[in-house]
Structure 1
Amino acid sequence: MPQNFRLRFDGAVAARELRSAAARGLFLGVEHVLGLSNDVVPLDEGYLQSTGTASVDEPSLTGMVSFDGPYAVRQHEELTWRHAPGRTAKYLENSLNSAGPEVAALIAAELRRALR
């Protein structure tokens, strides 16, 4: 028996939902990177760790992780300084480089969820 189907597709709504899902996934990704960075950020009194933030600019789909302490850049770049065990310079860069697959998976999961 032949069957007839009618499909009404609104591309603008689909694009809007997918962009929103991508932004949610990106936010989860930058939160993940922030968590990894917090695990290795140089720690003396915990001030630098407390300045870490994660945010997403939804219109441009740009994720940001930053540490805003007055010495954050110097701690990040100074490879000769000694740190407590498990803490290191390049705390943000190394965390970001190692988290690529996980961030991509978080974004993909949100996109799949939106397509259901």
Structure 2
Amino acid sequence: MVSRRVEFNEKVSAEQLSAQIKRSAVLGLRKSAEVVLATARHNTPHESGDLERSGAPSVDPTNLVAAVSFNTPYAVRQHEEVNYDHPKKGEAKYLENALAEEADNVRKILAKYLEGAFR
């Protein structure tokens, strides 16, 4: 574990620092969700493009949770059915695989945004 000493030239209250950290975390979560979404869209099975277009990122700023979702009646089935054939493009587990593929990038993005809270 790496520890860093942070010194401030100005007086910053704990509340101000906490608010800045939270704002930075929300921005980092939003960017991370967008990165995962882009990769998931690339991986989605494609017939008409409706599934790809239905993807959306969201962030719950209160609980500091990000999500990526796809909103078609068949999104879950396409994701879970590993025996489907996808002749045009795409794969089952398109969202799960995108998250695994982008995990290191998500960590880097979050670290960058959180470090920015201390500048």
Matched, 1:93 2:96: yes
Number of matched pairs: 111
> How much does 1:41 deviate?
0.1
Q: 2:13 aligns with which of 10, 14, 17?
A: 10
- AA of the residue aligned to 1:36: T
Residue 65 of structure 1 is matched in structure 2 by 68
Question: Cα RMSD (Å) of the superposition?
Answer: 1.4
Moved over 6 A (4+): none
Matched, 1:113 2:116: yes
Q: Which range is displaced more, 66-75 or 95-104?
A: 95-104
Structure 2: tracts of 5 or more residues without a match: 1-8
> How much does 1:111 deviate?
1.2
Instruction: State the alpha-carbon separation in 1 of the partners of residues 45 and 12 from structure 2.
Output: 52
Matched, 1:77 2:83: no
Instruction: State the alpha-carbon separation in 2 of the partners of residues 7 and 29 from structure 1.
Output: 31
> How much does 1:37 deviate?
0.2
Tell me the secondary structure at the aligned position of residue 99 of structure 1: helix
Instruction: State the alpha-carbon separation in 1 of the partners of residues 11 and 93 from structure 2.
Output: 51
Counterparts in 2 of 1:38-57, with a 5 A limit? 38-57=41-60
TM-score of the aligned structures, taking structure 1 as reference length: 0.90
Percent identity of equivalent pairs = 35
- AA of the residue aligned to 1:39: H
**Higher radius of gyration, 1 or 2:** 1
TM-score of the aligned structures, taking structure 2 as reference length: 0.88
Structure 1: tracts of 5 or more residues without a match: 1-5
Residue 3 of structure 1 is matched in structure 2 by none
